[in-house]
Amino acid sequence: MKKNKKFGFVTPLLIVLLLVVILSYFVEGRSGISYVALGDLVINYVQSFYYFFDTILFIFAVGGLYGALNKVSGYKKLLNKIASKVEGKKDLFVIITTIIFVLLTAVGGFNLLAFLFIPFVISIILLLGYDKFVALSSTVVATCVGVIGGIFLSFRDGTNQYASSFTTFDKVAGLNGLWDNIIPKLVLLVLGTGLLVFFIVKRIKNTRNSGEVSNKDVFYVEEKDSSKKEEKVKSWPIVVLGSLLLVVLILGFMPWNSLFGFDCFDKFHTWLTGLKIGNYVVYTSLISRNITALGRWGDIGSYMMAIICITLFLLLVKCFYHVKFSEFSKGFIYGVKKMVPAIMVLILAYSILVAAYNNGFIETLITKSADSFGDNVIMASLLTIFGTIINVDLFYIVAGVVSPIVTSLTDNANLNVYAVLFQSFYGLLQICGPTSILLIVTLSYLEVPYSKWLKYIWRFILYMFILIFVVLIITTLI
């Protein structure tokens, strides 16, 4: 039974993979009809480890981070302290947490990076006695709502996978202004957040009336220590270091220059890397020539800088709390092992992308469908949904789905409508799609079956679907 919980995504992913194989028999790829062979599927699975190694390593690092923190008494004290302080207003705490995650994504530009802080918040919510669905809604779903109405949601430009500037769905659709779609985005953001809060509050009331309780032993291992030493442990260093980690990640991954024209970080980095003592270049020789300026940490298209920040954070925590290296490493390894089932499922999702991309039929399907139906919002929505399910990575969604649809458009008057369409449906699929990275990792780790999740979340998906279409219709008429 436990195995089924962890691997609840396998069946829907295998169905999608089978669909990819079948389509390859009927739709031309880059070299005509080229079937996706069964042996190639095995090769694609192995290749995915290499192609998306940085994402996999980031998820492992987050698992190791919380496994190690479970060996730190200051961290456990912080969780209990927060839970006890908000006990009297815990419903309000859940609502505020939901809003924070929405804004962290919509304004701070976080998406998968939000997963770095999700286990911490889920631990507190579970300690407060709420169930896993409330915890997931307040964190994962809130992050996805932030994507749907994201004001500063950004990603790598599809013109260069490894060394590119950041762009947005608006820019991909041909809009140049940062604020061109601010009104529909704000409507989706505000009303989407309101719907989510309503949905969460309703769940809280239902579980409270039914007497359901949470499983607290998930991200947080409760180990009481009756010694006086634990009473003297301070939790504020964890708070300071965690806050610093959040600020540094926002500064590093938010594309300040590309979005706002703010180039101070670029200029400072240029000055810093140019410092010399005689002919000796100080920065590149002592630190690194590969660390880019703040605001450009995503330019290389990876999470390596986030992994470095996690490593430094752990080293500082270990030094401050004087945790034995053997205990710290034991906890880290435990956390990494907990992530293995989620990673194995995630690799299956990535192998779907690799199979479709290597064959090339998805490009033909999207391009011909978009050309045939022209400026059709419904068809563009269906193609976006289909392409998002097949292409787990946002870069490939933009390059292989969004760009061909935009190219096929004949009326530039409605470019703003399509920009909202692409972003909102991409965000919606992250809540329920079987290839959503955030959903795969979190549900697998919490051992929540995918079928149970869909049974719980389908009403909210329906509400958001209706809201998105209403906003699209109004945006078209204005």
User: Would you write out the chain's pLDDT as a tens digit for each of its 478 residues?
Assistant: 344 444 478 899 999 999 999 998 888 887 778 888 888 889 999 999 988 998 999 999 999 999 999 999 889 889 999 999 999 899 999 999 999 999 999 998 888 899 999 999 999 999 999 999 999 999 999 999 999 999 988 876 444 443 345 578 888 888 887 788 899 999 999 999 999 999 999 999 988 877 655 555 445 444 444 444 555 778 888 999 999 999 999 999 888 887 888 889 989 888 888 888 877 887 777 777 778 888 888 765 578 889 999 999 999 999 999 889 899 999 999 999 999 999 999 999 999 999 998 888 888 888 888 888 778 888 889 999 999 999 998 888 888 888 888 888 877 778 889 999 999 999 999 999 999 999 999 998 888 999 999 999 999 999 999 999 999 999 888 7
Check whether residue 276 and residue 367 sit in a common domain: no
Domain that holds residue 280: 256-290
CA distance 270 to 288: 13
Q: How far apart are CA 244 and CA 251, in angstroms?
A: 10
Q: Could you tell me if 253 and 243 are in contact, meaning their C-beta atoms sit under 8 angstroms apart?
A: no
Q: Is residue 359 part of a domain?
A: yes
Q: Which residues contact 48 (CB under 8 A, 6 or more apart)?
A: 347, 350, 351, 353, 354
Residue 331 lies in a domain: yes
If asked whether residues 79 and 180 sit together in one domain, one would say yes
What is the C-alpha separation between 347 and 353, in angstroms, rounded? 10
Return the residue matching tokens 């962290």: 104
Q: Are both 286 and 299 inside the same structural domain?
A: no
Could you tell me if 108 and 78 lie in one domain? yes
Q: Is residue 275 domain-shared with residue 345, that is, in the same domain? A: no
Examine residue 227 and state whether it is found in any structural domain, yes or no: no
**Number of separate domains in the chain:** 2
Asked whether residue 269 falls in the same domain as residue 403, the answer is no
pLDDT tens digits along 49-91: 988 998 999 999 999 999 999 999 889 889 999 999 999 899 9
**pLDDT (tens digit, 9 = 90+) per residue, 418-476?**
999 999 999 999 999 999 999 999 998 888 999 999 999 999 999 999 999 999 999 88
Do 336 and 273 share a structural domain?
Answer: no
Nearest to 409 by CA among 367, 443, 448: 367
Cα 376 to its chain centre, rounded Å, is 29
| Residues whose CB is less than 8 angstroms from the CB of residue 275 and which lie 6 or more positions away in sequence, other chains included | 281, 282, 283
pLDDT of residue 227: 45
Check whether residue 61 and residue 169 sit in a common domain.
Answer: yes
Extended beta strands in 96-236, E state: 155-156, 166-167
Q: What is the predicted pLDDT for the residue at 131?
A: 92
3-state secondary structure of 461: helix
Q: Is residue 326 part of a domain?
A: yes
- Per-residue burial over 37-57, b if 16 or more Cβ lie within 10 Å, else e, is eeebbeebbebbeebbebbbb
Helix axes 437-446, 415-432, angle to 10 degrees: 20
Q: Are residues 172 and 270 in the same domain?
A: no
228 within domain boundaries: no
Please tell me the predicted confidence (pLDDT) of residue 160: 43
Judge if 29 and 145 occupy the same domain: yes
Are 421 and 172 a contacting pair, CB within 8 Å?
Answer: no
pLDDT, position 180: 85
